[in-house]
Amino acid sequence: MKISLIQTNPQSDRDANLARTLKIMETAVTADKPDLVVLPEYFDVYGLSNEEKFAVAEEKGGKAYKFAQDFARTHGVYVHAGSVMERIEGESRVFNTTFVFDRTGKEIAQYRKIHLFDVDTPDGLVYRESDSVMPGEDVVTYDVDGFTVGCGICYDIRFAELFVALQRKGCDLIVLPAAFTMQTGKDHWEVLARARAIETAAYFAACGQTGFTETNGEKRACYGHSLVADPWGMLVAQASDGEGYVTATLDKEQNQRVQNLIPVGRHRRLSC
Active-site amino acid positions: 41, 113, 154
The DSSP element (H or E) to which 212 belongs, if any, is strand 210-215
DSSP notation for 10-56:
--S-HHHHHHHHHHHHHHHHHHH--SEEE--TT-S--S--HHHHHHH
Amino acid letter, 8? T
62 C-beta neighbours (distance < 10 Å), count: 17
**Angle CA(23)–CA(35)–CA(150) in degrees, nearest 5?**
105
Grouping H, G, I as helix, E, B as strand and the rest as coil, residue 135 is coil
The answer to whether 228 and 174 have CB atoms below 8 angstroms apart is: no
- Is there a contact between 9 and 152 (Cβ–Cβ < 8 Å)? no
Task: Give the length of the chain.
Answer: 272
Per DSSP, the residues of 57-125 read -B-TTSHHHHHHHHHHHHHT-EEE---EEEE-TT-SSEEEEEEEE-TTS-EEEEEE--S--EEE-TTS-
Distance separating alpha carbons of residues 118 and 149, to the nearest angstrom: 27
DSSP line for 183-196: HHHHHHHHHHHHHH
